Amino acid sequence: MIINSSNSNTKREYGYSNTPFGLCCISFKDEAIDSFNFVSSTSDYNMNENYSSKQNLYINNKKAKELVSQIFESNKAPDIILKGTPFQIQVWNELSSIPRATTTTYGKIAKAIGQAKSARAVANAIGANPIALLIPCHRVIRSDGSLGGYKWGVNLKRDILQWELDNTKII
């Protein structure tokens, strides 16, 4: 479930956990994830530097590991909290409708949200996605079929797409 807003006074927790693709740092409030980033080490991504409200920020690696386990080992993804402009949220909601192990293009996303001539703006919104994997920006490719960019590198994008293909059950 996507939650579009949250109370900024709520206690925010964050933590680090391993994934099939390396280490990640996630932040969450009351079981809902609001940030998921791949990192090279625990010192690579400092939550205190990435959030303006530091007074309610606490580390909880145990909960982070539970949420990451839920993402990769169950069919039920955790809830997510989206914070962005109305246009970004519209794009991110559209990304969430892309089936696992499939891809689409920036232009098709633009057309799907009724902004057919806004592929570049869509690409910018996709690049600003704060929640890797759960808002599947890795499933968007260029119209020529090439993978295009990815915040954490095109090799990781390729690996995630292959992992989804290998781990999608055909019924």
CB of 17 closer than 8 Å to CB of 24: yes
Positions marked catalytic:
137
Q: CA of 154: how far to CAs of 99, 160, 161, in Å?
A: 20, 10, 11
* DSSP 8-state assignment for residue 145: S
- Spell 10-33 as b/e; 16+ CB within 10 A means b: eebbbbbbebebebbbbbbbeebb
Bridge partner residues of 38 (DSSP): 24
C-alpha 48/C-alpha 28 separation (Å) is: 14
Backbone phi and psi for residue 19, each to the nearest 5 degrees, phi listed first: -130, 175
Q: Which helix (H) or strand (E) holds 162?
A: helix 154-166
Cβ-based burial of 89 (10 A; exposed 0-12, middle 13-18, buried ≥19): middle
